[in-house]
């Protein structure tokens, strides 16, 4: 493997550059994935059948907690990548761990939110609106869950193998994924919750 030392570690080899490029293409696909969910959501938003409407079930507090927590986690993983670039392995692991902890908090609040909806009669099978709402949120939540495992594996690998072109590359790609999930959440926050409560 030829390693180019003029670039950050994660770009060090040709394969690494290709991995990062390929992941950006994957993010392009994810944009369409969530766009389709949004298109469906906006179409069905007011088709509530006999169930409740968004303005009746959305609550600001849990949503705001989720937003701040996910935003902070995205900031933390950004710091983690920065620490990785200046070679501070332990700081990087700390930042990545905080990221995942915040991700866990996000997931916890989301689970609370889901059970709350089920409790107040806005379960999955109630109406077209609740169905697509929970599917959209659930798809994002599933991405976060996968991210938690993925991030954990990467922390373990960096711990065991140190900062090599391979581990740095994986960590950087994971950070792209995590930032992207925050971007998706910004749109969910703005156009599902705030628009619904407006």
Partner 1 sequence: MSELFPRKQVMGFVFSLVLTAAALTVYFLDVSFTVGITILLATAFVQAAVQLVGFMHVGENEDKTMIYMNIYYGLAIALFTIFGTLLIMVWDM
Partner 2 sequence: MDYFDRFAIPHPSPAIYASMVAIGLTMIAIVIGLTYFKKWGYLWSEWLTTVDHKRIGIMYLISALLMLFRGGVDALMMRAQTAVPDNKLLDAQHYNEVFTTHGVVMIIFMAMPFIYALMNLVVPLQIGARDVAFPRLNALSFWLFFMGAMLFNISFVIGGSPDAGWTSYFPLAGNDFSQSVGTNYYLIAIQIAGIGTLISGINFIATIFKMRAPGMKLMKMPMFTWTALITNAIVVFAFPVLTITLLLGTMDRLFGTHIFSMTNGGMDMLWANLFWVWGHPEVYILVLPAFGIYSEVISTFSRRNLYGYKSMVASIVIISFMSFLVWMHHFFTMGQGPLSNSIFSITTMAIAIPTGIKIFNWLLTMRKGKIEFTVPMLYSVGFIPIFTIGGVTGVMLGMASADYQYHNTMFLVAHFHYTIIPGVVFAMLAGLTYWWPKMFGFMLNERIGKWAFWFVAIGFNVTFFPMFFTGLDGQARRMYTYSEATGFGPLNMLSFAGAIGLAIGFALIVYNVYYSTRHASRDIGSDPWNARTLEWATQTPVQSYNFARTPQVDSIEAFWDYKKNGKPLFKGEIEKIHMPNNSGMPFIMSCIFFVWGFSLVFSMWIPAIITTIAIFACLAHRSFEKDDGHYVSVEEIEATEKDWEVLADENR
Helices (H), the chain: 14-44, 54-57, 60-85, 89-119, 128-161, 165-188, 195-197
Select from 97, 123, 138, 179 the one that contacts partner 1 (CB under 8 A): 179
Instruction: Return the axis-axis angle of helices 165-188 and 89-119, rounded to nearest 10°.
Output: 30
Q: Which residues bind partner 2 (CB under 8 A)?
A: 1, 14, 17-19, 21-22, 25-26, 28-30, 32-33, 36-37, 39-40, 43-44, 47-51, 124-129, 131-132, 135, 139, 146, 149-150, 153-154, 156-157, 166, 170
Interacting residues with partner 1 between 102 and 121 (CB under 8 A): none
Compute the distance between CA of residue 130 and CA of residue 51 in angstroms, rounded to an integer.
8
- Among partner 2, partner 1, none, the one that 82 touches (CB under a kind-dependent 5 to 8 A) is partner 1
- Among partner 2, partner 1, none, the one that 112 touches (CB under a kind-dependent 5 to 8 A) is none
Interacting residues with partner 1 between 14 and 43 (CB under 8 A): 17, 20-21, 24-25, 27-29, 31-32, 34-36, 38-40, 42-43
**Count residues contacting partner 1 (CB under 8 A)?**
51
Compute the distance between CA of residue 75 and CA of residue 19 in angstroms, rounded to an integer.
23
Compute the distance between CA of residue 194 and CA of residue 105 in angstroms, rounded to an integer.
21
């Amino acid at each position: 493997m030829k390693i180019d030392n003029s670039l950050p570690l994660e770009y060090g080899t040709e394969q690494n550059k290709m991995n990062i490029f390929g992941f950006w293409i994957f993010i392009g696909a994810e944009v369409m994935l969530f766009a389709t969910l949004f298109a469906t959501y906006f179409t069905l938003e007011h088709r509530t059948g006999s169930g409740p409407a968004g303005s009746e079930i959305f609550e600001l507090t849990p949503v705001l907690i989720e937003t701040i927590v996910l935003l902070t986690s995205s900031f933390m993983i950004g710091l983690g990548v920065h620490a990785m670039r200046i070679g501070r392995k332990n700081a990087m692991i700390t930042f990545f761990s905080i990221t995942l902890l915040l991700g866990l908090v996000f997931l916890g609040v989301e689970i609370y939110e889901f059970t709350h909806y089920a409790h107040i009669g806005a379960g999955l099978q109630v109406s077209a609106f609740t169905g697509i709402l929970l599917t959209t949120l659930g798809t994002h939540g599933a991405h976060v869950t996968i991210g938690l495992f993925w991030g954990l594996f990467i922390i373990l690998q960096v711990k065991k193998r140190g900062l090599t072109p391979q581990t740095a590359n994986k960590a950087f790609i994971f950070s792209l994924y995590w930032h992207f999930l925050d971007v998706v959440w910004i749109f969910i926050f703005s156009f599902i919750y705030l628009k619904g409560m407006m």
